[in-house]
Each structure stands twice: as C-alpha cells, then as structure tokens.
Amino acid sequence: MPFDAHAEDYQRLKLRLAQNLVTEDPLEVQTAYDNFDKQFLKSRDALPQTDQDRSFSLIARAATLIDRQLPFSEETRAQQIIERAHGLLAEALSLDPDNADAHRMIAASEQPGFDAFFQWLDARADRVKEQCEKRCIETGEGLPKPLRELADHLAMRPYFRWLATMASQALICGRNRESLQLCYKAMEADPLDMGDVRFTAVLALAKLEDAKGLERIKKRFIYTPRRRLASLVLPLQRRSSYNAWLSLANLAIAYKQRDFTSAEEKLQRMLRRYPHAAATFIRQHELPEGVFARLPVIPKSEDELIVALSEATILLQEGREQGVCGPFGTWLAETSKELAKPREAEEIALAQQQAEERFRFISEMARKQAGFERPDDGWDNTGEHDLDKNGADENEENDGSANSDGRSSTLGSNASAQTSHDISSQNPDDVSSHNPDTSNPPTPEGDAS
Amino acid sequence: MKCHEELIARLAHRRNAKLGDLSKSGFEELLRAVRAHPNNFIDDPRDEAFSLVVDALDRYERAREADDLIEADEAFFVARQRRLKRLYTDCGRALARDENCADALLCRLLAQDLRTDDRVDQLVALQHNLEDYAQAEPLWTAAQEGRDAWDNVFTHGLLRIEAALSRALFDTARYGLADKACRQLLAKAPSDALGARHTCFLVLARLEDEEAFDALDVQLGRHGDSWSHLARVILLYKLNRLPAAKRALFSYAHLIEGGIFALLRPVLIDTYIPDRPETPENSFKEATLAVHEADPIVVDTPDLLSWAESMPKIASDAQEWAERNGFMW
C-alpha cells in the first residue's frame, strides 16, 4: 500500500494501544484489539493518544479535504474547503510544532512556484530527517522488536514523504537528474518504497531517454521488499512488473526512438490492460498532485492509468506543437483512437469532444494571458506562437476542470472507497500478532499486477 | 542560406567539370564570368531547378517582409498561408525541371507547415529517397573521404535536409535522435555552416549531460555564442547548481547583445525555410533565434524565466536595453 493518511492514523493509534497494554493474557489482548477497531470507527478521539497522534489525525482530515474533495467541488465550496483544511493544518501545528507533514502541506500552497517549493523542501530536508530519527527513539520505547520496527517506520514516514515530494517537484521543475538522485536516496532510506518513488524515477529516466536505466530499475518493480511476501503466495503469471508509470515510460522511450512497431505494441498492451484506456489517452487530464502523498489507486484500474498519465504530462506535452498536447501526447491520442475497439466508439467520441473543449478553453486562456498580438519588435516576428504552451501550463495548474466530464469523480469515488476499505478492513492481527508493517505486505491484489 | 552565391558556385563548378578542371586562376576567371551573367551559364535542368528555388525564396522573403507590416493577426496569418502556398507551388515548378532537387523538395516540404511529427516523418522519407540518387550523382559524391562535405556546393541541399531533420527531431522532443543527427552532420561537415552545434548544445542541456556538453564546447574551441551560453544557463539550472547557473546567466547577459531581453520577452519566429537565417555573432538577432529554438526546453523548466528575472539587475538591465534600442518592455 502506498501512503494513506487514514490507514496511518489507525496504525499509530493501534501502536499506542500496544504500548499502553499492561496485560499479557492473550484473551485480554484479543479483546482489547477487537474493541479498538469498533472504537476507532465510532469515537476515534476517545482512544488513548498523544498530541502528536492528534496532530497527525488532523492532517489526515486535511488531506481528505484537499486531495479528495477540493478537486471536485464548486468554486464557492472550494474556498470553504481550503479554509477548513488550512484551519486543520494550523491546529495540527499548534499540537505538534514539528509535524513535518503539516509544514509540507502548508508550504505546498504557500510557496510561489514549483522551484520555490522545491528549494524550501531542500533547505529543510536534513532537519526533518533528524527530527524523524529522534522520534524513532522516543516512540519505539518499551515495544517488542517487530512493533518497534513498525514504530520506527511510522516515525520516519514524514521524511520519506518529504523526499518523495522533493523528487516529484524536481521532476516538474525539469531537474530530471536531481529527481532521479532523490528517488534513489528515498529508496535507500525506505527499501519498502512506501512512497512509490520508483514511479517518479521511471518518468525521470524517460525524460533523460535512458533506456538502459529504465531496464535496470525494472527489477525494483518485480522484487521489492513489499512484494516479496505477496510473490510467495501469487501464481507465477501474476508476478508481473506491470505498472502504468513503467509502461508509459517505456512507451515514451519507444516513441522518442521512432520505434513505432514497439510503441504500438506497448500501447496495445495498455489498451487491453486498463479499462477505458483509449478514452483516458484522448482526454489526457491533469490532476493536482496529492498534497499528503500520491493518491492511492488500485493497480490495473482506470484510476491508476489516470494518475500515471497525469504525472506523465511532462512527457506528453514536451516539444513544439500547436496545441495543448505535445507531439507525444498527440501521437498517443490519435493512435489510441485508431487502435480502440469499435464498441468503444461512443466513449471515444465523447472523450474527443471533451479534449477539444479543453483545448479551446486552454487556448483562449493562453491567448488572454500571453496576449496574442505579435509584438512590435520590428524583426521576424512571424509564425507559431511559442507562448501558447506556457500559458496553457500555467492555466492547467489552476484548472480545476478535472470534474467537467465525470471522469475524475470516478477517480475520487474509487480512491475514497479504497481508503475507507483500508481502515475498516485492516486486520487487527497486524498489531496483536506483533507483525509490523514491514512483514505485512499489502494484499496480493494490491501489489501484484 | 546564401542562395545566390550557391547558384553561382554550382554553375561555375558544373561548367568547370565540363571543361575539364581549370587551373585555380582559370576557375576564378570563370567564377567572375558566372557572377556577372549567371543566366548565361544555366544549361542543365538541375541548375535550372535550383535557380527557380532561388527565385522562389527571394519572392518568399520579400512577401515575408511585407507581411510583417500587417497589423491584424488574422490578416497576417492569412497572408502567411498565401505566402507558403506560393512557395509550395514555386517549388513544384522547380521539381518539374529536376525531380531530385534537394532544396526544392525541402522547401516544398517545409512550406506545407506540417505538424512537427509529420515533418520528421517526411524529412526522414525525403532523406531516404535521395540517398540512392545521391550515390548516382557524381557531383554530389565528389567530396573526398575526410574532406568537409560543405566544401562541395552540390551537397548543400542534402546537408540542409539533415539539419532540418535534426531541428525537427528536437522539436518533437526526441533528444537522443536529434543529438545523433547533429553529430553525424558535424562529422560530415566540421565547418558546420548549418549550425548543428547550436541544436546539439540545446539537446545536451535538455538531457542534463554536462560531460558531453563540456566535451562539445572544448571540441568547438570554447567559441561561445547565444546558443551555447543560453544552453549552459539551462543546463546548470536543471542540475540545480544555482550559483553556477547565476554566473552563466550573467555571462550570457554580458556577452550577448540584448540577450536577456530576448529571453524574457520572446518573439515569434517562423519555421526556418530552408535553414536558420544568418545573424551577426552574439547579436540580439542571434539571441532571438537561440531563444526561439530553446523554447521547448525552456517551457520544460517552468520556473527558469522567473528565476532569471529575479536575479539582481537582470530585469532592470534588460528593460534599460530595450528602452535604449526602441523596443517595448
């Protein structure tokens, strides 16, 4: 499972319960855990917890507001959501002034640009690491070894998320090597790769057109510590490294090398594997990045493809092209349309209409922002409008139009369902049997595609 | 492209080949005669075709200068379309004389104003189609092994196709292939009259390949220009070496006339037909071309311009330069 604020809140409190349990009678321990689940769902705040736990719970609520509700809300409601989320984050900091997640989430909205946010994160990364390491020592006290490992991991997660955000921001800033270095640093710090930074890494490798590097990193998609246990119980054919980010990176490399046979094969595979993939490739929606962490999505789902494609915008829109899509984005949309099954004709037509509307909207905004008049500079000022894409990019950033076609609401509902499932279905034995996260990988369905 | 000079050189070389290799002074005499009355020496359909391309490009340039005076955007783009259509037709006339006239084929292709991906496809196809013909044309293949291909005027059209392809590959964000195309061109014609090095510097900045960037810079004798200075700024910014990027930005600002104004206030540049216009070294005009070519990789580093603008005196000096030179800030 990738980072999930609510699941983490649950784990923190359960760990707190384990720390506070005085009995060693197995029956009493079992009853305590059984009651814990009920209590967590009914009255979470009544459970034993520290100010740090309370602070974390507030950022989990803020993350839900910003990541799940804000992108799909009307303008008037959006302002209320923003104010509410900021209130929660401020409260979180008043309870725990060193809450790195809260600081990071506030900075995401306050820093004036991608680079400013990146530099802000960069300047504080070492301090966050130190704070997290200090908390490892404090929180793990008195716990048996497996639970101590979980406590350590939970304490370090804000730092892992910090690095993951830095890697992602570096990529958006066009600093592909920096992004790649940060990904490797994050994977070294957290071999479980809870932040799935390897997804960011493959996009950076595609940007650097490093086919060999992409081949090397592929093994991290097959053999990660998180997958190891899952792979033992999976049939051989399901131990695939298939992943939307990796597939898109490979597809981009094939396109860049003008290996159209390979590119079409790869695209065909994606069209077969992901539901409504052709329509997704035509729409090419950009979603806001998850403010807490990358939005958790079900592998092989339409949502996985939508999130991956949104992150791959840096590949889709790159190059000189008259329009919102870059040359690769245009090729992807057109080839998907050609390869789509006849029964998809209706949804393809709808997706195309939506893409055209979006193009018109963005072009109009770009014209307004950049000024379409040719500058009176007296020399050679003819032809294509270089600023179109600049304007489009800026506009996309605050677009918030992802819900115009109902597509994103599918993403929202699925992702929310996944979150609630994670909390309610979390096996109490995870903790009662003293199994930390590290020895308790996600369900096979969740990690094996 | 110095098309009139090229026509004269072609005519002189073809006549020289017919006469059986004149002495150096004899050839210079012939060259003077051709320059005085070029039309008198056009007796081959291939030169006739090239001469028609020269006329077509002259007409195109005159129309372009007139179009720049058009105020309304819509009217401008209509005029642009008309101008390109005319060029397309004129190249067709040249091709009726010589179906393998590389420059006519290239200009006709570029006049179609294709999407960048289609432009790459067609340029690759064009290059492939002309390969066989080139092998059979003695004056095209006359360049000796190890000699600079640009020394043979009959290869210029083919080299221009390669240069156009390298730029089109860059425009479709195929940086590895663009690098390869530029390297091939530099190996064939180290004099690099077509400026493959410029595209190469931009490619290496985009791929954040500092080692290859420095190696190319050394290979070219560290002869800086708008492209290499700008590319270095982009490279160092991308590598997050901001103090070094800042120094590179100041070098670019100091060495390139109006370079920062060109960077912060980019102007619209049309597709190069058939190749990059000639500009004075380190001039403002050169900078506008470099900035135009670098646009896809500048856009790919979304905060680069705001970072540059935030550097001390950069924006104010650029504004001052603009006001001094009659440009609107």
The minimum CA-CA distance between B327 and chain A, rounded to whole Å, is 6
Chain B residue with CA closest to A252: the answer is B174
Smallest Cβ–Cβ distance between A320 and the set B208, B296, B302 belongs to B296
Summarize the confidence of residues B184-197 as an average pLDDT.
Answer: 96
Summarize the confidence of residues A21-27 as an average pLDDT.
Answer: 75
pLDDT, averaged across chain A: 80
Q: Is the pLDDT of residue B86 over 60?
A: yes
Cβ–Cβ contact A115 with B under 8 A: yes
pLDDT, averaged across chain B: 94
> Which of A214-218, A320-324, B75-79, B213-217 is the most confident on average?
B213-217
Q: Between the CA of residue A409 and those of A303, A309, A351, what are the distances in Å? A: 10, 16, 15
Q: What is the DSSP letter of B2?
A: -
Cβ–Cβ contact B66 with A under 8 A: no
> What is the CA A86 to chain-centroid distance, rounded?
21
Contact check, Cβ <8 Å, A383/B285: no
A74 phi/psi in degrees, rounded to 5: -70, 165
Asked if the peptide bond before residue A2 counts as cis, ω within 30 degrees of 0, the response is no
Q: Is the pLDDT of residue B28 over 80?
A: yes
Least confident of A69-73, A125-129, B119-123: A69-73
Name which of A118, A286, A367, A377 to mutate to probe chain B: the one with the most chain B Cβ atoms within 10 A of its Cβ. Answer: A377
Task: DSSP for B211-238, please give it.
Answer: HHHHHHHHHTTT---HHHHHHHHHHHHH
- pTM exceeds 0.95 for this model: no
CA dist A37 and A60 (Å) reads: 18
Burial of A437 (0-12, 13-18, 19+ CB in 10 A): buried
Cβ–Cβ contact B180 with A under 8 A: no
Complex ipTM: 0.94
Tallying the residues shown for chain A, one arrives at 449
Cβ–Cβ contact A188 with B under 8 A: no
Contact check, Cβ <8 Å, A114/B303: yes
Q: Is the pLDDT of residue A431 over 60?
A: no
Secondary structure class of B141 (helix, strand, coil):
coil
What percentage of chain A exceeds 90 in pLDDT?
A: 54
Q: Is the pLDDT of residue A395 over 70?
A: no
Smallest Cβ–Cβ distance between B174 and the set A178, A258, A390 belongs to A258
Cβ–Cβ contact A145 with B under 8 A: no
Looking at beta carbons, which residues of chain B come within 8 Å of A368? none
Cβ–Cβ contact A371 with B under 8 A: no
Helix/strand number for chain B, H first, E second: 16, 0
Cβ–Cβ contact A376 with B under 8 A: yes
Q: Is the pLDDT of residue B146 over 70?
A: yes
What percentage of chain B exceeds 70 in pLDDT?
A: 97
Question: What is the number of CB-based contacts under 8 A between chain A and chain B?
Answer: 142
**So what's the pLDDT on residue A417?**
30
Contact check, Cβ <8 Å, B268/A384: yes
Contact check, Cβ <8 Å, B292/A377: no
Contact check, Cβ <8 Å, A374/B268: yes
Q: In the structure, what pLDDT confidence band is assigned to residue A391 with cuts at 50, 70 and 90?
A: very low
What residue type is B151 in one-letter code? D
Residue A312: which of A412, A245, A400 has the closest Cα?
Answer: A245
Looking at beta carbons, which residues of chain A come within 8 Å of B117? 321, 327, 330-331
The minimum CA-CA distance between A112 and chain B, rounded to whole Å, is 10
Looking at beta carbons, which residues of chain B come within 8 Å of A383? 80, 268-271
Q: Is the pLDDT of residue A418 over 50?
A: no
Looking at beta carbons, which residues of chain B come within 8 Å of A257? 174, 176-177
CB B166, CB B199: distance < 8 Å:
yes
Summarize the confidence of residues A356-363 as an average pLDDT.
Answer: 80
Summarize the confidence of residues A365-370 as an average pLDDT.
Answer: 65
Q: Is the pLDDT of residue A51 over 70?
A: yes
Looking at beta carbons, which residues of chain B come within 8 Å of A385? 268
Chain B residue with CA closest to A115: the answer is B303
